[in-house]
Structures are given as C-alpha cells and as structure tokens.
Amino acid sequence: MMSLSFVSFRFFPTLCQSHLCYYPSRKVQGCLSNLRGSAETQRMSKSIPFFPKPERLDESMPGYAGFDPLGFSDKFDVKFLQEAEVKHCRICMLAALGWVVPEFWHLPSEVFSNTSPLAALGQVPKLGLIQILLLVAALEAISLDKLTFHPEKEPGDFGFDPLGLGKGNAKKWMQTAELKNGRLAMIAMGAFFHQNLLTNQGIFEQLKTHNFFPTNFPLH
C-alpha cells in the first residue's frame, strides 16, 4: 500500500504536467496548421485553386483572375500580353456583332446577301480583302510603335474616349468591364465559327430551325 502511494505521489505531477501540456500543444498545432493552410491558399490561383498563383501578374490589374495555367506571363512581357488580350477582346466584340447583323440587315447587293459568314467570305472581292489586311497591318504597326517606344502607355490605351466614360474612379471599372465582355466575345466567336462550319447557317437561322446541335439532329 505504501509503495503504491509512493508511486502515485511520484508520478502524479508528471502525469498532470504531461496532460496539461498535451492539450494546449494540440491547440497550437491546430492554429499553426490553419495558418499554413491559409498561407498556402493565398499562394494558389483564385480561378484554378490547384494551380499556383502567377507570380508576375498583379492583383491590381484590370480583369485579374489569376488565370495563367500555361505560364505565358513567365515567358513573355506582361504588358505585351495585356495589349494582345485587349486587342482580341475588341476585335471579337466587333466580330460577334458583325456576325449576326447580316441576318437582319445587309447592303443592297447580292454580294452581301449571304447570311452564312464563312460562305460570305468567299464572295468578298480579293482586292477588298487586301485593302482590309493592309489597314489592319498599318494599325498594328502604330500600336506596336506606341507599345515599344512609349513604355509608360497603358496597354490598350489609344486615347479614344469621346464620351469621357473612363475618367476618375470609373476607369478601372470600365477596363474590367471591357475585358470581361471581350473574353465572353472571344468564347462566343469560337462557338459561332464552329456552329457555322457544321451547319452552314447563321446563328439565328440555326435557332429558328432548331439546328444548333453539332450532330445536326433537329429538336421536335
């Protein structure tokens, strides 16, 4: 009995101490793991949570989404990539409008009467296509000159704002809105092109005839 009491007296403080230290340490470890998880989350892309955040892309950029799975921002100049994206956004927004308008209205000539954009392209005179390409090349040379020799210029800024919509605090909002609408237009143009390639019909003509599935099966 005495030996048992001695053992209890001898080891009780140790057991208490280990018991008291164990649970706080678990709490500390839990806090540390939460902090590590939070830091790890901050290093990951918002748009692709299982990809690391692009290091050269700044969250203050208009339209930032942390989306660069192929790592283009590590291989090319970021301002050049921004300029290219804005150009493609603007071109596709205009192209999406130009793709559907001829189904409702076109110039009074047989040359412009085809509502299938890909088929209508073959009706454009060759000299007309050459003129368009030369104009695009001239505009591209002007923009490259501004981008190369005027590094302070913001990507996509040509000083064109006749309505003054991009002034003050509204500027970044307008830039982000332009990019979001442009990205949607780029996706839409890809869809328009492939649907027209499959059906040889305009977008609204496909909707009228229920011919908007790639299998060309009509809906009933």
Q: How far apart are the first and last CA of the chain?
A: 93
Model pLDDT, residue 19: 47
Same domain, residue pair 15 and 115 = no
Same domain, residue pair 148 and 198 = yes
Model pLDDT, residue 22: 46
In a domain, 52, yes or no: no
**Band (30; pLDDT cuts 50, 70, 90):** low
**Band (27; pLDDT cuts 50, 70, 90):** low
Same domain, residue pair 31 and 83 = no
Q: Measured on CA atoms in the order 29, 30, 32, 33, is the torsion positive or negative?
A: positive
In a domain, 126, yes or no: yes
In a domain, 204, yes or no: yes
* Whole-number percent of the chain with pLDDT over 90: 16
pLDDT digits (tens, 9 = 90+) for 154-188: 887 777 788 877 777 788 888 899 999 999 999 99
Same domain, residue pair 37 and 102 = no
Q: Can you list the pairs that 62-68 forms with residues at least 24 positions away whose Cβ atoms lie under 8 Å?
A: 62/172, 62/175, 62/176, 62/178, 62/179, 63/175, 63/176, 63/179, 63/180, 63/183
| Binding site listing | 73, 85, 88, 90, 178, 181, 183, 195, 210
| Binding site listing for chlorophyll b | 90
Helix axes 170-199 and 78-100, enclosed angle (nearest 10): 50
Same domain, residue pair 116 and 201 = yes
Same domain, residue pair 95 and 177 = yes
Highest mean pLDDT among 24-33, 48-57, 65-74, 132-141: 132-141
Same domain, residue pair 22 and 102 = no
Residue 144 has pLDDT above 80, yes or no: no
Same domain, residue pair 16 and 99 = no
Q: C-alpha angle with apex 174: 172 to 180, nearest 5 degrees?
A: 105
Query: Tokens 């499959």, residue?
Result: 198
Same domain, residue pair 22 and 114 = no
CA distance 144 to 194: 31
| Binding site listing for chlorophyll a | 73, 85, 88, 178, 181, 183, 195, 210
- Read off the amino acid at residue 76: F
pLDDT digits (tens, 9 = 90+) for 99-138: 888 888 877 877 777 777 887 777 778 898 899 899 989 9
Query: Token pair of 62, please?
Result: 């208009």
Q: How many domains does the chain have?
A: 2
Length of the chain in residues, anyone? 220
CB atoms within 10 A of CB 182: 22
| Enclosing domain of residue 20 | 1-42
In a domain, 185, yes or no: yes
